[in-house]
């Protein structure tokens, strides 16, 4: 009886804690991250989740992306997400719908700035993802949006992916009929674009091996 009790006690001390968890990656995005027009398991965020689940330590991905989301909507939803999930990294992929609606860039910048400030204040690392608008929006607005992302990345010292759909958007075979959202075969390339900036961030986390 005593021997059995000692074995139980030793196993409880030596075995890793099942309750121990690793802080997740949170994705705050729009339809480009919400797998619009695809099966839910085909989007780049799901592919990211599969990659991080296979890593050591395994890390969860929380996809808080909503089709049609704006920077204002993301800002409003972020505080409870930070409180609930306590992420290690927050990927911010917003601004496309603001741009498509022609909203003032000063408003977009203010919202994204507050989002990045909230992420920093929560002790998480931010990753900023930019988007390009169709050429009919004119060079002034399009250049302004590019400058907005660059300026925020510098101000908050966060990695920037200038264009999520780099290598995808100009290939009709990889884009859905609306010309805005990539097809399933393009998602691996989209993930690689993200991973180029996200991978080094994940590698610096204190709970990464």
**Residues with a known catalytic role:** 31, 178, 181
What is each CA distance from 54 to 48, 60, 198, in whole angstroms? 10, 10, 16
Q: What is the DSSP letter of 33?
A: T
Cβ neighbors of 134 (< 8 A, separation 6 or more) are 179
Instruction: Give me the sign of the Cα torsion angle 116, 199, 166, 60.
Output: negative
- SS3 call for 78: helix
């Amino acid at each position: 009886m005593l021997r059995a009790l000692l074995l139980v006690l030793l196993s409880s001390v030596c075995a890793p804690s099942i309750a121990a968890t690793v802080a997740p990656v949170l994705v705050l995005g729009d339809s480009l991250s919400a797998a619009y027009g695809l099966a839910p398991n085909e989007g780049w965020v799901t592919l990211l989740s599969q990659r991080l689940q296979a890593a050591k330590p395994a890390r969860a991905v929380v996809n808080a992306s909503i089709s049609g989301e704006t920077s204002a909507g993301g800002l409003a939803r972020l505080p409870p997400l930070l409180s609930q999930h306590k992420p290690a990294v927050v990927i911010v992929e917003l601004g496309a719908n603001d741009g498509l609606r022609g909203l003032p860039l000063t408003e977009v910048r203010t919202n994204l700035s507050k989002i990045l400030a909230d992420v920093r204040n929560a002790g998480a690392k931010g990753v900023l993802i930019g988007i390009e608008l169709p050429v009919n929006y004119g060079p002034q607005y399009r250049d302004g949006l590019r400058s907005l992302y660059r300026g925020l990345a510098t101000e908050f010292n966060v990695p920037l992916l200038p264009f999520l759909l780099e290598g995808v958007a100009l290939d009709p075979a990889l884009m859905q009929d609306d010309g805005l959202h990539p097809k399933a075969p393009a998602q691996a390339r989209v993930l690689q674009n993200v991973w180029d900036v996200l991978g080094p961030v994940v590698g610096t986390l204190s709970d990464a091996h």
